[in-house]
């Protein structure tokens, strides 16, 4: 429900437009929120750290490039137009030989590095673009 103090903006959220606004990698930006879940856009390249999210599943949707999600017992490759849901508690490590542009869907407040100690890999949370 909207009211007059908070007018609805009828404007599409365009992935290409959002992607053009930043160049840094491994720094997810929030582009929309649905209930408690945030839809984030991110650019990645190279190898991330092994980690898991004890409290939540994590959805990866590839927009551009080729993403490999490594697991301790296998891996899955995602091309543009493909997605995968990593179940909560499952260790995973994203890898991209060349830059991948993708969407992440996860609850508000989830850190990109999951259960790891805070480090330079830990992205600042809740950054909207």
The residue (of 21 and 83) whose beta carbon lies closer to Ni ion is: 83
The residue (of 58 and 61) whose beta carbon lies closer to Ni ion is: 58
The answer to whether 102 and 66 are in contact (CB under 8 A) is no
The answer to whether 42 and 26 are in contact (CB under 8 A) is yes
Shortest distance in whole angstroms from residue 106 CB to Ni ion: 8
Shortest distance in whole angstroms from residue 53 CB to Ni ion: 6
Tokens of 63: 């927009």
User: How far apart are the C-alpha atoms of 120 and 57, rounded to whole Å?
Assistant: 23
Shortest distance in whole angstroms from residue 32 CB to Ni ion: 19
Tokens of 96: 């991209």
Residue with smallest beta-carbon separation from Ni ion = 58
* Residues between 26 and 85 with contacts to Ni ion, criterion CB under 5 A: 58
Size of the site for Ni ion (CB under 5 A): 1
Tokens of 26: 């491994």
Residues of this chain that interact with Ni ion (CB under 5 A) are 58
């Amino acid at each position: 429900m909207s009211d007059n103090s908070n007018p609805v903006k009828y404007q599409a959220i365009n992935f290409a437009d959002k992607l053009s606004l930043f160049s840094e990698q491994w720094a997810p930006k929030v582009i929309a929120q649905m209930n408690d879940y945030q839809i984030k856009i991110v650019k990645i390249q190279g190898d991330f750290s092994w980690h898991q999210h004890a409290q939540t599943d994590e959805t990866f949707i590839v927009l551009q490039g080729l993403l490999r999600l490594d697991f301790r017992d296998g891996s899955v490759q995602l091309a543009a137009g493909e997605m995968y849901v990593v179940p909560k508690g499952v260790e995973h490590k994203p890898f991209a030989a060349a830059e991948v542009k993708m969407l992440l869907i996860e609850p508000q407040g989830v850190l990109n590095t999951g259960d790891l100690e805070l480090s330079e890999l830990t992205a600042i949370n809740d950054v909207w673009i």
